[in-house]
Structure 1
Amino acid sequence: MLNIIYIEDQRRPERNHEFKEVIHKLGFQDIILFCDDISIENISTLANDGVICHSGMAGYNIIKHFAKENKWPLLSYSGAVGSTHILQENSFTKNHFSVDSDYFEFVLPEFIERCKSIKESKNNDD
């Protein structure tokens, strides 16, 4: 079973609530777990198949570091100018994706499919 972690942004509890509703509406509540502890100790012990967070939140660089180190697919959402409406892969870091937060709902299924493919690929390599 797929296990994806959604890291809650403490600055915006209303957005966390909104995205939790989207996750439930899309039927992903069984594979996306919510985490509000961004300590290094906690993030370093996570065992997951992907991670979702806001690119401007406190602890983003910690999450990004462990995502790269552990080869977790990462979806970061943002409202920054230049954010895209599609799932865009970072040209420097494989399997790290970004999207404008207004389009989170639309790209989440694609991100989950990418996580599944990456997990299957890892399992086939073992």
Structure 2
Amino acid sequence: MYVIGTAGHVDHGKSTLVKALTGIDPDRLQEEKDREMTIELGFAWLTLPSGREVSVVDVPGHERFIKNMLAGVGGIDLAMLIVAADESVMPQTREHLAILDLLEVKRGLVVVTKVDTVDQDWTELV
């Protein structure tokens, strides 16, 4: 099974993206729902049109939960680096990218979220 992991700053939309792609809410703890913040690793899956199955690991973005992020990205095949258009690159974005580099995650893509919250000129800058 191919494993995709999220990475990025807190509140940039990692869990929301996972839910949009898979239909599964990776935030399963009540505390996560109350605080609107991922604390533990979240898991989801989907089947591509080709029939290939993909597992998705959603990691916390908050600096206090960096150990959980490290645990989640250790075995991924591809990272989705999430950057919110309304904030651009932030400290945890850089830290997560450095961790992915350190762990030699070779495949990745950048996903810009929250583009509906900014004007077109700002989106192009991001």
Superposition TM-score, scaled by structure 1 size: 0.45
Give 1 or 2: higher strand fraction.
2
